[in-house]
Amino acid sequence: MSSIARVNFALPTRVYYEDTDAAGVVYYASYLKFLERARTEWLRALGFEQRRLVGECGIAFVVRSLAVEYLRPALLDDLLNVSSTIESVGRVQVVFSQNVLRESAQGAELLLTAKVRIACVDSAHMRAAAMPEDVFSTFRALNSNRTGNRA
């Protein structure tokens, strides 16, 4: 596992006009894009680019389910921090716990919490498939470090 591997990953992002509705409030579906980008960038930081996983390993990650709690609205020009943690991991799926916080001079304010279940699929047939061993062992180690358990 690379030295960049962290139990928690955070991606800063700014709210742009395209992310908002007519009132300047972040549209609910835009948060899903923020969550996806944070997971994707964490994979990249761990050395697992999704295009390579499809091309070399024949697998892809797809969202199987998600639960989102919208706590407070984000607004145009807000600076957000999208954090990700692995909650659980199996050979075919991983559950991420994700939060969106607004960063300001007064501190961080929690805006959204989410649980996102990701499934690993064979990219040719879109059927469940085991993760490559290096991806699985990295996720397992991150989850073990988070919980304090040994894998």
Query: How many Å apart are CA 16 and CA 3, to the nearest integer?
Result: 32
Cβ–Cβ < 8 Å for 146, 86: yes
Q: Which residues pair with 114 in a beta bridge?
A: 68, 98
- Dihedral angle of Cα 121, 124, 127, 129, to the nearest 10 degrees: -40
Q: What angle is formed at CA 120 by the lines to CA 68 and CA 133, rounded to 5 degrees?
A: 125
Q: Which residues pair with 30 in a beta bridge?
A: none
Q: One of 21, 77, 122, 134 is an active-site residue; which one?
A: 21
Extended strands (E) in the chain: 8-14, 59-70, 79-89, 93-104, 107-122, 127-128
Q: Is 19 assigned a catalytic role? A: no
Catalytic residues: 21
